[in-house]
């Protein structure tokens, strides 16, 4: 009964994971003989300006996406946290962008952010701004625009997770605190925050893993432009592997990406554990 | 007084959130019904003067859209159906049958969940392209294109994911052990027990997994982009990007097509919203 799943899993998941590490040490190009080149790909990687800037962009993208999703998501969820039909309806509506494909979301925002035909700039001009920003065509604003779209798409998912965590906090805790004369801030700081910390931690991990893998927005909306301002690691992997067919080199990039994600996850886990021990919440 | 203030804040935030999320979708629908001169008008048009429903017809004639929808539907239905079968069986084994090495195998399954697909993307591509005896390949997997540009190439990688196994295991592990004892008394083997006792009770978990798999596969963009280049195998998500690549983007048709492509998800969402939410939440509960 396990066989069908494990057949697929080992051939199309485990084997590729292992062989990818091997590829990253070769000069494998599609349709050519491979040679073992030891660490050459990795050495070249850290001299490749396109890759380095993509690594930086990805880190910025991940940092701000995660920051906004984890904090803003919690803030809104705490305010909305009531067991009413209204909150249930809001939760359902908020999940719509999450269920919509990134391609569709990218198309909608491509139009809204278009410097001349987009609604946002038309509205800004109507409000009296003479030279509205060029958004995705502006070196400084392109990456923040992508971050904003990512937050817009995933906020509902984050709120869903938070609201379910918040509704698991026993109401008696708040009642007892009210009897003791605790204010709103005090209740948030001493009850909500410690009780929601594991949920926040889950949100932190999932949103950061997702953010490090970002590709579709870049491929569809900007192609890395303007001047590599929005190029991400996965966009580089895609370009090197499926435009230049340098599978070995791209494989090395994917190993680096994997290590970065692993490191971020481990750091978070340790940080969480440490805080739990100290009980600083 | 204070209580009323808190409630008021909640209502204000609720309205803001809903507006924030729905306004872009409203604009998508509105622009899909506008003429191009309304789209280009210097002041934003929110409601088209005369709704241009023929934008939808024109968008669907821009390329072989019947075929694209059929491709996406085929891949999505096959992936969802096969995943449900193999994942529920594997989940049952991990929940109920203990054998040597079962813990190690389950650990591997968990690892599979954490590996980003970009790590397997390149080897998976060469593996499927080098599949022996198909797509003009010889027994060494050379000479042809293997499963490149084939339905199998689009389907197979999504059957290997392990999230479904994890989801089903978590669900079955909550079943009372007495069920198995009763089944054994009646002379049922493990497979019979799964088929006659566990499967009929699996409605909720299979619905959640099915909805998640359906949305995930329908919305997939990267893998079809890598694995196909022929118009015959284009999925709807890939087909959408064709509008983007034209020299003058016909925004009204693009928005019409975007809405139609997302409609499949919204229909599923309307009927199975509960299961979708349940699936997302069960992924977040540690156990």
| Model confidence at A113: pLDDT above 90 | yes
Q: How far apart are CA B212 and CA B277, in angstroms?
A: 9
Q: Which of B165, B215, B258 sits opposite A107 (nearest CB)?
A: B258
**Does A202 fall in a domain?**
yes
Identify the CATH number of the domain in which residue A151 sits.
1.10.3720.10
**Interface-testing mutation among B31, B41, B46, B123, with chain A (most A C-beta atoms within 10 A):** B123
- Using DSSP's 3-state secondary structure scheme, residue B147 falls into coil
- Give the closest residue to A258 by CA, choosing from B127, B122, B161, B156: B122
Task: Please answer whether residues B273 and B281 qualify as being in contact, where contact means their C-beta atoms are separated by less than 8 angstroms.
Answer: no
Give pLDDT, residue B286.
44
**B86: nearest CA in chain A?**
A5
Q: Measured between alpha carbons, how far apart are the two ends of chain A, in Å?
A: 46
Q: Which of A6, A16, A95 sits opposite B124 (nearest CB)?
A: A16
- Using DSSP's 3-state secondary structure scheme, residue A36 falls into strand
**A7: nearest CA in chain B?**
B160
| Model confidence at A281: pLDDT above 50 | no
Q: How many domains, chain A?
A: 1
- The DSSP symbol for B45 reads P
**Does A45 fall in a domain?**
no
B121 touches chain A (CB under 8 A): yes
Q: Which of A1, A110, A116 sits opposite B89 (nearest CB)?
A: A1
**Does A129 fall in a domain?**
yes
- Kindly give, in sequence order, each residue whose CB lies less than 8 Å from that of residue B118, ignoring residues fewer than 6 positions away: A213, A215, A234, A237, A254, A257, A258
What would be the CATH architecture of the domain defined by B64-284?
Orthogonal Bundle (1.10)
| Model confidence at A234: pLDDT above 90 | yes
Q: Could you give the angle at the alpha carbon of A229 between the alpha carbons of A223 and A231, nearest 5°?
A: 45
Give pLDDT, residue B77.
96
A126 touches chain B (CB under 8 A): yes
Backbone angles phi, psi at A26, to 5 degrees: -120, 170
Residue A161 confidence class, pLDDT cut points 50, 70, 90 = very high
Q: What is the DSSP annotation of B62-122? A: TTTHHHHHHHHHHHHHHHHHHHHHHHHHHHHHHHH---TTHHHHHHHHHHHHHS-HHHHHH
Which residues in chain A touch residue B189, judged by CB atoms under 8 angstroms apart? none
Q: Which of A13, A90, A198 sits opposite B14 (nearest CB)?
A: A90
- Using DSSP's 3-state secondary structure scheme, residue A26 falls into strand
Give A 169-208 residues with CB within 8 A of chain B.
Answer: 184, 198-199, 202, 206
- Kindly give, in sequence order, each residue whose CB lies less than 8 Å from that of residue B253, ignoring residues fewer than 6 positions away: B32, B55, B58, B59, B62, B243
CA B284 from centroid of its chain's CA atoms:
18
Task: Please answer whether residues B159 and A8 qualify as being in contact, where contact means their C-beta atoms are separated by less than 8 angstroms.
Answer: yes
Give pLDDT, residue B179.
81
Give B 207-236 residues with CB within 8 A of chain A.
Answer: 215, 218-222, 225-226
Give A 254-273 residues with CB within 8 A of chain B.
Answer: 254-255, 257-258, 261, 265
**Does A226 fall in a domain?**
yes
**Does A90 fall in a domain?**
yes
Give pLDDT, residue B42.
85
| Model confidence at A200: pLDDT above 50 | yes
**Does A40 fall in a domain?**
no
Give pLDDT, residue B284.
65
Which residues in chain A touch residue B108, judged by CB atoms under 8 angstroms apart? 9, 14
B277 touches chain A (CB under 8 A): yes
CA B29 from centroid of its chain's CA atoms:
23
**A120: nearest CA in chain B?**
B44
Give pLDDT, residue A279.
55
Q: How far apart are CA B99 and CA A255, in angstroms?
A: 33
B127 touches chain A (CB under 8 A): yes
- Output b/e per residue, A42-71; b: 16+ Cβ within 10 A: beebeebeebebbbebbbebbebbbebbbe
Task: Please answer whether residues A250 and A240 qualify as being in contact, where contact means their C-beta atoms are separated by less than 8 angstroms.
Answer: yes
A74/chain B closest Cα distance in angstroms = 13
Give pLDDT, residue B175.
86
Q: How far apart are CA A262 and CA B90, in angstroms?
A: 27
**Does A11 fall in a domain?**
no
Cα dihedral sign, A90-A91-A96-A98: positive
Residue ranges in chain B modelled with pLDDT below 50: 286-287
Q: Give residue A262's domain range.
A: 53-278
Give pLDDT, residue A278.
59
Longest dimension (CA), chain B: 80
Q: Please answer yes or no on whether A117 and B40 come within 8 Å at the CB atom.
A: yes
Residues of chain B with CATH 1.10.3720.10: 64-284
- Rounded average pLDDT over A212-231: 91
Q: Please answer yes or no on whether B160 and A8 come within 8 Å at the CB atom.
A: yes
B231, two tokens: 């118009």
Cα dihedral sign, B46-B52-B53-B56: negative
CA B271 from centroid of its chain's CA atoms:
16
Q: Which of A117, A184, A215 sits opposite B251 (nearest CB)?
A: A117
Residue A272 confidence class, pLDDT cut points 50, 70, 90 = confident
Give B 45-84 residues with CB within 8 A of chain A.
Answer: none
Length of chain B: 287
B113 touches chain A (CB under 8 A): no
Higher pLDDT, A67 or B287: A67
Q: What is the dihedral of CA B165, B167, B169, B172, to 10 degrees?
A: -130
Task: Please answer whether residues A134 and A220 qualify as being in contact, where contact means their C-beta atoms are separated by less than 8 angstroms.
Answer: no
ipTM (interface predicted TM): 0.91
Q: How far apart are CA A149 and CA A207, in angstroms?
A: 14
Give pLDDT, residue A268.
83
How many beta-carbon contacts under 8 Å exist across A and B?
A: 238
């Amino acid at each position: 009964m396990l066989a069908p799943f494990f057949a697929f899993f080992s051939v199309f998941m485990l084997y590729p994971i292992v062989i990818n590490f091997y590829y990253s040490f070769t000069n494998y190009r599609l349709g050519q003989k491979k040679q073992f080149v030891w660490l050459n790909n990795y050495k070249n990687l850290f001299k490749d300006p396109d890759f380095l800037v993509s690594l930086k962009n990805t880190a910025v993208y991940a940092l701000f996406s995660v920051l906004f999703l984890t904090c803003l998501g919690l803030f809104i969820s705490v305010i909305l946290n009531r067991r009413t039909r209204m909150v249930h309806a809001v939760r359902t509506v908020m999940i719509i962008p999450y269920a919509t494909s990134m391609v569709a979301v990218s198309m909608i925002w491509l139009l809204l952010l278009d410097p001349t035909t987009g609604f946002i700039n038309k509205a800004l001009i109507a409000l009296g701004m003479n030279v509205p920003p060029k958004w995705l065509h502006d070196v400084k604003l392109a990456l923040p625009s992508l971050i904003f779209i990512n937050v817009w798409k995933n906020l509902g998912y984050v709120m869903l997770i938070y609201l379910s965590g918040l509704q698991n906090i026993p109401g008696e805790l708040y009642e007892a605190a009210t009897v003791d004369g605790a204010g709103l801030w005090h209740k948030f700081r001493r009850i909500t925050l410690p009780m929601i910390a594991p949920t926040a931690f889950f949100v932190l991990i999932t949103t950061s893993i997702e953010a490090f893998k970002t590709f579709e927005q870049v491929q569809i909306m900007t192609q890395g432009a303007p001047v590599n301002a929005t190029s991400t690691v996965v966009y580089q992997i895609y370009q090197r592997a499926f435009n230049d067919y340098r599978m070995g080199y791209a494989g090395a990039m994917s190993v680096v990406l994997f290590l970065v994600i692993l490191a971020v996850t481990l750091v978070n886990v340790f940080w969480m554990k440490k805080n739990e021990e100290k009980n600083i919440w | 007084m204070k209580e009323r203030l808190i409630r008021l804040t909640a209502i204000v935030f609720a309205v803001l959130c809903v507006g924030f999320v729905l306004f872009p979708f409203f604009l998508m629908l509105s622009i899909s019904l506008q003429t191009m001169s309304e789209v280009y008008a210097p002041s934003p048009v929110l409601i088209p003067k005369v709704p241009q429903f023929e934008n939808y017809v024109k968008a669907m004639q821009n390329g072989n859209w019947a075929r694209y929808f059929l491709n996406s539907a085929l891949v999505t239905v096959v992936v969802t159906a096969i995943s449900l079968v193999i994942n529920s069986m594997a989940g049952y084994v991990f929940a109920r049958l203990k054998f040597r090495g079962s813990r190690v195998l389950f650990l591997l399954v968990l690892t599979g969940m954490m590996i980003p697909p970009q790590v397997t993307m390149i080897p998976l591509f060469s593996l499927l392209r080098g599949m022996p005896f198909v797509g003009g390949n010889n027994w060494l997997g050379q000479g042809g294109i293997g499963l490149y540009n084939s339905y199998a190439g689009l389907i197979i990688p999504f059957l290997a994911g392990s999230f479904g196994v994890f989801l089903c295991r978590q669900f079955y592990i909550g079943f009372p052990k007495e069920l198995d004892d009763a089944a054994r008394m009646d002379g049922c083997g493990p497979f019979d027990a799964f088929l006659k006792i566990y499967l009929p009770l699996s409605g909720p978990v299979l619905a959640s997994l099915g909805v998640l798999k359906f949305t995930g596969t329908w919305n997939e963009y990267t893998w079809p982009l890598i694995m196909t280049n022929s118009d015959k195998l284009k999925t709807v998500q890939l087909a959408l990007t064709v509008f983007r690549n034209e020299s003058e983007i016909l925004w009204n048709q693009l928005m019409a097509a975007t809405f139609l492509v997302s409609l499949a998800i919204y229909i599923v969402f309307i009927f199975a919203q509960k299961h979708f939410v349940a699936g997302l939440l069960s992924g977040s509960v540690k156990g």
